[in-house]
Chain A
Amino acid sequence: MRLEKCWFCSSTIYPGHGIQFVRNDAKIFRFCRSKCHKNFKMKRNPRKVKWTKAYRRLHGKDMTQDATFEFERKRNRPERYDRNLTENTLKAIKTIDKVKFRREETHHKNRMKGKVAKERKEARKELDQQIHMLVAPGAMVKDTSAAKVTVKVQHESTDENRMEE
């Protein structure tokens, strides 16, 4: 019994799920569910379909090259059973998983590094430019100009009065 990978979305196919399609050239396509199968029948390229692993790897959303991927490789030559080896392997699988998970997290964090700064900048810009949705431009200009005028007049009158005197 083996867990296979879905050809379209690269998720694991557990026993009892999915469909296998064998093409005339004897290439086997395995699908985890009908969604992937139907997408395949529509001749969609998984590298262009956003939610598949192929797309994510291609566009750098997910980690591509890592040492942890080397551990899991399909071996065609069977090994003679060794109890100790099996025990070690089982333990190793667990640690490798942990390491992989941590590395994925860092990858994601690095990807999202400049996001907050960018968002803030954009918010500031939007506020500056779209303020007319809240306050009409005419109203804003009038207020400022009125304020300026009043100040000037006061200043002159005091000067004149002084001069007359």
Chain B
Amino acid sequence: MRKVKFTQTNFHEKLSTIIEEFPRLDDIHPFYGDLLHVLYNKDHYKLALGQINTARNLISKIAKDYVKLLKYGDSLYRCKALKVAALGRMCTVTKRIGPSLAYLDQIRQHMARLPSIDPNTRTILICGYPNVGKSSFINKITRADVDVQPYAFTTKSLFVGHTDYKYLRYQVIDTPGILDRPFEDRNIIEMCSITALAHLRAAVLFFLDISGSCGYTIAQQSALFHSIKSLFMNKPLIIVCNKTDLQSLEGISEDDKNLVEEMKSEAMKTLIGQGGEPREGAEVLLTMSTLTEQGVIAVKNAACERLLDQRVEIKMKSKKINDCLNRFHVAVPKPRDQKERPPCIPQAVLEAKAKEAEKEKKRLEKDIEEENGGAGVYSASLKKHYLLAHDEWKEDNMPEILDGHNVYDFVDPDILQRLEELEKEEGLLQDQEDDEVEMDVEDLTPQQQKELAEIRKKKSLLIREHRIKKSTAESRPIVPRKFDKDKRFTSERMGRQLSSLGLDPSKAIERVRSKSRGRKRDRSTDHDMDVDNDGSNKKMRARSLSRSRSRPPTNELVPGEGFKDSAQKIKAFKLGKKSVQKRNKDAKKGVDDDHDLRRGWPVMTEVWMNVGGIKKIRVYDFESYFLFGRFHVCFILVSCYTFLNLWIFSDNYEMIFGFISQSSGVLSFSCLLFFLVKFELHKYESHFKLQARLQPNMKWALQNRRKT
């Protein structure tokens, strides 16, 4: 149960995180919402998320159902089967939402790479035809590194750069080029820039390629301008003529000039609409060349200025401004008189500075090092400044170790004197040495030495044998003399050993031989039915091996065991065997688990019910009971009856008809019985208190669940 629940929680968690982490298109800034819609279809996106949500709910439901079912599992095998089923269903659900998950993953990866554009801060938007020089411009004024290539649509998405003006940060957004097409025909890339234009409150720089090297004439570009000028509402607009190095503004044809004038007038309109102060027309139309960097800064400054003015205007008009104004105050000291007051530097500092300049440099160790080849080559002699009695000792290498002693430990100013004393002492000691002490005890003779050696050898042998016997006695049992394959216990050997010790072995051998049994064959031939040889027979009997005690049959009562009768003994043995049986902990299929539950056949099961105390009675599952027990008995009876009748009255047709009517009557009677039995058992149901818990029948359990 725990496993099912755990899997369900896991799934739930993961899917919930997915659902929550993906932004809801309605909750985010409309610019982002539109951008996402442009890039990934909004409907598709919502659909995918919805699918995941349903999957999550489905899994929860599955888990709940199966957990409830598991509570009624009677055998371990059944529980395991249920668990497997639950997990399997959850997995299939997950598999079904696989494609949506893949789609969402792709979206996620793409979204992660979208540029971070703050819709509320100062923004400058660059738009125009493809290849006019927008990306080069942004490369020039910001640190952005956008691809600049000769082919159109190099820029495929929005790029952000940042630039500064008057200590303020401005976002500069580079858009992909827009072509002059009706709105519906636009592709995703163009839609990106359109979205940006539509939603971001920014200053717009419309780029115009004067030279026409982008592949489009001024006419086309101005047509584009007019088609999207609706997007320029309330935005400070500046028209920038780029690529003036190739073609200057003055050099273009009349028609083109007219078109440009038209655009300029449009731009002026926005300027006027903005706030009133109509400045020179130059503010609206600017020329530059990104290649020669001529006029780039001017364009940027103009754009930033315009934007700033607009924002300030708006802020001034809002209500918040009054709160802010009170806090601004710049204090400037008013000049009292015309006296000049330069900064004050003390005289000493000036003098010291002058001195430092003229001081000569000392020759340092560093300089010496550099002269002699640098750091790796020259190593300075640290002993240069030693103070010693004689200068030639400076470079001496004194040994620190000699013969396993530290020389420093022996160094002593009066070592010589002490050494002399030591030598004197040593001399005295040597004189005092005694000669060798005389031995009081004499050595053994060679014969004795030989004997001693032999004794020691024998002793060591005994000790060794004893040690071997001691060590192996625990791990290996000692083989008894009966199986003496090394022939260590023969009488000859004994005789030899005794004689080597100097004793006469004959008597000992005789005694030993008389006590042994001898071989079987010899026995039978020597002592065949001889009554006279009583002594030997007696000996035989006295030495005969006792028969092995064979076990009595299991059921037979042996008095010493403590059983009342053989039946009790049998029962005891049975119980003993049962207790040793292995429990089915591996959840393998048992006898009861063989039934196919899906068909709904009722199972004939026995339930041991505790009826007051120790005694247990066997009660059958009431449903299966009447279905198997009595019903089948009736059926069998009836069938037997019919067959019997048929057999008896086979030739007589009349009787057959009579019999058929009879049998039908019997059948109906049996049905009556059948129902009676059912009702009867219903009566007994409450008596036996067969509760839901005791019902192992799965079908019943399912039905019961639905009721609750």
Contacts and interface: CB of A to CB of B under 8 A. Distances in A.
Contacts of B423: 95, 99
A85 B451 contact: no
Interface in B347-399: 386-390, 393, 396, 398-399
A3 B225 CA distance: 93
Nearest to B442: A120
B402 interface: yes
A138 interface: yes
B422 A68 contact: yes
A97 B403 contact: yes
Interface stretch (A33-41, A45-53, A74-82, A149-157): A74-82
Interface in B397-429: 398-413, 415-416, 418-419, 421-423, 425-426, 429
B451 to A, nearest CB: 6
Contacts of A93: 402-403, 405, 407, 410
Interface residues of B, number: 53
Interface in A128-165: 130-131, 133-136, 138-140
Contacts of A79: 411, 413
B614 interface: no
B479 interface: no
A88 interface: yes
A24 interface: no
A90 B399 contact: yes
Contacts of A92: 410, 415-416, 419
A43 interface: no
B455 A74 contact: no
A139 to B, nearest CB: 3
B419 A113 contact: no
B459 A130 contact: yes
B448 interface: yes
Contacts of A74: 409
Interface stretch (B178-186, B231-239, B432-440): B432-440
A95 B455 contact: no
Contact of B439 (A117, A131, A136): A117
Interface string A1-23: 11100000000100000000000
A96 B441 CA distance: 39
Contacts of B405: 3, 72, 93, 97
Nearest to B462: A133
A88 B406 contact: no
B320 to A, nearest CB: 67
Contacts of A116: 439
B527 interface: no
B443 A99 contact: no
Contacts of B426: 99, 102-103
Contacts of A75: 408-409, 411-412
A121 B441 CA distance: 7
Contact of A83 (B390, B402, B403, B416): B390
B409 A72 contact: yes
Contacts of A103: 426, 429
A15 to B, nearest CB: 9
A73 interface: yes
B503 interface: yes
A130 B451 CA distance: 10
B28 interface: no
B443 A120 contact: yes
B407 A90 contact: yes
A82 B389 CA distance: 8
Contacts of A95: 419, 422-423
A72 B422 CA distance: 14
Question: Which of B393, B408, B410, B448 has most chain A Cβ within 10 Å?
Answer: B410
A81 B396 contact: yes
Contacts of B439: 116-117, 120
B413 A134 contact: no
A136 B390 contact: no
A124 interface: yes
A106 to B, nearest CB: 7
A96 B419 contact: yes
Interface of B: 386-390, 393, 396, 398-413, 415-416, 418-419, 421-423, 425-426, 429, 433, 437, 439-444, 448, 451-452, 454-456, 458-459, 498, 501-503
Closest 10 CB pairs between A and B? A139-B502, A136-B501, A120-B441, A117-B441, A133-B455, A133-B458, A136-B503, A72-B409, A130-B455, A135-B502
29 contacts: A1-B400, A2-B408, A67-B422, A67-B425, A71-B422, A80-B387, A81-B398, A82-B388, A83-B393, A85-B411, A85-B415, A86-B396, A86-B398, A89-B412, A90-B407, A92-B410, A92-B416, A95-B419, A99-B423, A106-B429, A116-B439, A123-B452, A130-B459, A131-B455, A133-B454, A134-B454, A134-B455, A134-B458, A135-B502
